[in-house]
Amino acid sequence: MTHEIVSIPADAASGMQDSPALLRLRALLGEHRLLRDADSLARFGADRSPGWVPRPVAVALPETTEEVQEIVRIAREFRLSLVPSGGRTGLCGGAVACSGELVVALDRMNSLLSVDAVDRSVTVQAGMITARLQEIARERDWFYPVDFASSGSSQIGGNIATNAGGIRVIRYGMTRNQISGLVVVDGRGEVLRLNHGLAKNNTGPDFRHLFIGSEGIFGIVTEATVQLLPAPKPPQVMLFGVGGFPAILRLLSEFSNTLKINAFEFFSNNALEKVLARQGTASPVQTAPFYALVEYESAGEHDEARALAIFEEGLERGELVDAVLATSEAQSRAIWRLRESISDTLSAWKPWKNDISVRVGRLDTFIERVSALVAAGDSDLELVWYGHIGDGNIHLNILKPEELSADAFAERCSPLAKGIAALLGEFSGSVSAEHGIGLLKRDYLHYTRSNAEISALRAMKAIFDPDGIMNPGKLLPD
């Protein structure tokens, strides 16, 4: 996946100094909400994907939907490109601004607007941090199920724009499932109030779902109505040492067919070793080639006996090596931390990331084929397997050897990446299960989406964003 650096004329940023667009934006937002200092430009112009040089022209910090609308109108008038910006925790360059764009950061739009106790929903501004939304739900004995390692800094608007997934998709679905209403400002500067929190609304195609996962190429999400759930009982968390992929898949089908699972994650031993070394802790289970983390909701002793039986049978068959059941919330959290720290731990190796999925029923043959591809390829590279295997999503990370430059590494990974993408095409899988496309995976989009779909997407962009100012370059291939 190419790390392309888009350059802008050297004087583009300084040329903005006295431009009419800047004057209008300053009149709207005031000096303190239109940032131009080098630190802010570097910080707001990047996300967590490596390889881009952030070069936004300025950072706007609106506080209301109306201000976002005015920013879009000014941008249209002066043909200024906009990059919507949330917590910038993305891994695919969906929120980078490296071509003189104006970053529209939702950080100051983080209020709770209303609570509906009858239908158990809240309406929030899009800049609310995901963990704050989870906390708001908890305070009312409700539950917001979307969760992932970066929920402490990601924002709900960014989660919506990328249709964030995470660890409990197998039980609750992606962000899309929780959003019952949306306010967006599209690239025409129109405010669209979509679905109004309704549970039933059969009035034709639902534009809400066009905007969810659209990575800001149609417009900017400013408010969302989020459907919350009643708080579930504290779950059971187990960590298994597993012999190999067939055993992981057998464990998955045994749990998912007989118990109510919230999450089913896996990781390879080298992932665990690196996390343990960084944390300075010991493994809670005996060493095994792989580990499966299972979280399930227990209805009582019967379910717990069932989970134990699954373990004992697996042990007898020689498929499982060991298991641990968390007996306190602190232990559950410690087990989860092993899984959730992997991405951050691996970032020291500047890995080549794959965020891929196939239908769960096809995982066994797909993994066999990927493993064969990997074995036939560049055997010196270290691979780390992990992910949300319960919903078919694998994050295969390839670690960069220290002595290799970023470009040389990209070149070495490229044949494998192309091979995996072609396999995904064959298996009708996805080249981006949950991280999005951004700048990073545009050239791979066609392995998952047909040309007819991509041209329809372009046509839709032309409707909502006739001047092409909304997050240009993202998602769609050139």
The residues of the shown chain that bind ligand 2HG, judged by CB under 6 A, are 91, 149, 342-343, 353, 355, 395, 397
Return the number of the residue (91 or 174) whose C-beta is nearest ligand 2HG: 91
State the minimum distance, in angstroms, from the CB of residue 385 to ligand 2HG. 11
Q: What angle do CA 380, 381, 386 make, to 5 degrees?
A: 140
Q: In angstroms, what is the minimal distance from the CB of 276 to ligand 2HG?
A: 16
User: What whole-number distance in Å separates Cα of residue 65 and Cα of residue 183?
Assistant: 8
The first and second tokens of residue 339, run together, are: 């899984």
Query: Which residue's CB is nearer to ligand 2HG, number 321 or number 360?
Result: 360
To ligand 2HG, the closest distance from the beta carbon of 164 in angstroms equals 9
E strand or H helix at 260, and its extent?
strand 260-268
Alpha-carbon span 418 to 142, nearest angstrom: 44
The residue (of 218 and 336) whose beta carbon lies closer to ligand 2HG is 336
Beta carbon nearer to ligand 2HG, 67 or 147: 147
User: Among residues 203, 227, 207, which one has the least CA distance to residue 219?
Assistant: 207
- Give residue for tokens 């470009």: 407
- Residue of closest CB approach to ligand 2HG: 343
Shortest spacing between CB 237 and ligand 2HG, in angstroms: 17
Which residue shows structure tokens 């009643």? 230
Grouping H, G, I as helix, E, B as strand and the rest as coil, residue 87 is: coil
Compute the Cα dihedral for 358, 362, 367, 368 and give only its sign.
Answer: negative
Is the CB of 22 or the CB of 149 nearer to ligand 2HG?
149
CB 356 within 8 A of CB 430: yes
> Which of 8, 12, 62, 11 lies closest to 33 in space, CA to CA?
62
* Comparison of 395 and 474: residue with beta carbon closer to ligand 2HG: 395
CB 6, min distance to ligand 2HG, A? 23
**Interatomic CA distance for residues 39 and 46, integer angstroms:** 11
Least distance between ligand 2HG and beta carbon 388 (Å): 6
Specify whether the CB–CB gap between 418 and 443 falls below 8 A.
Answer: no
Q: Using the minimum distance from each CB to ligand 2HG, give the nearer residue, 332 or 345.
A: 345
Residue type, 189: G
C-beta of 149 vs 217, nearer to ligand 2HG:
149
| Cβ count near 32 (within 10 Å) | 7
Sheet containing 34-35: which strands, arranged edge to edge? 34-35, 58-60, 102-105, 82-85
Please report how close the Cβ of residue 48 comes to ligand 2HG at its closest, in angstroms: 8
Nearer to ligand 2HG, 397 or 471 (CB): 397
User: Are the C-beta atoms of 59 and 82 separated by less than 8 Å?
Assistant: no
Helix ranges, 259-397 (H): 269-279, 301-316, 329-340, 342-346, 363-376
Could you tell me the smallest distance in angstroms from the CB atom of residue 356 to ligand 2HG?
A: 10
User: 349: helix, coil or strand?
Assistant: helix
Q: How far is the CB of 274 from ligand 2HG (least distance, A)?
A: 13
In the bound state with ligand 2HG, the residue whose beta carbon lies nearer, of 208 and 353, is 353
One-letter amino acid for residue 264 of the chain: F
Count Cβ neighbours within 10 Å for each residue of 33-71 and write b for 16 or more, e otherwise: bbbbeeebbebbbbbbbbbbebbbbbbbbbbebebbbbb
What number of CA atoms fall less than 13 Å from residue 451's CA on the CB side? 0
SS3 38: helix
Q: Which is nearer to ligand 2HG, 240 or 385 (CB)?
A: 385
**Minimum CB separation from ligand 2HG for residue 251, in Å?**
19
In the complex, what is the shortest distance from the CB of residue 352 to ligand 2HG, in angstroms, rounded to a whole number? Answer: 10
Residue 217: CB minimum distance to ligand 2HG, A: 22
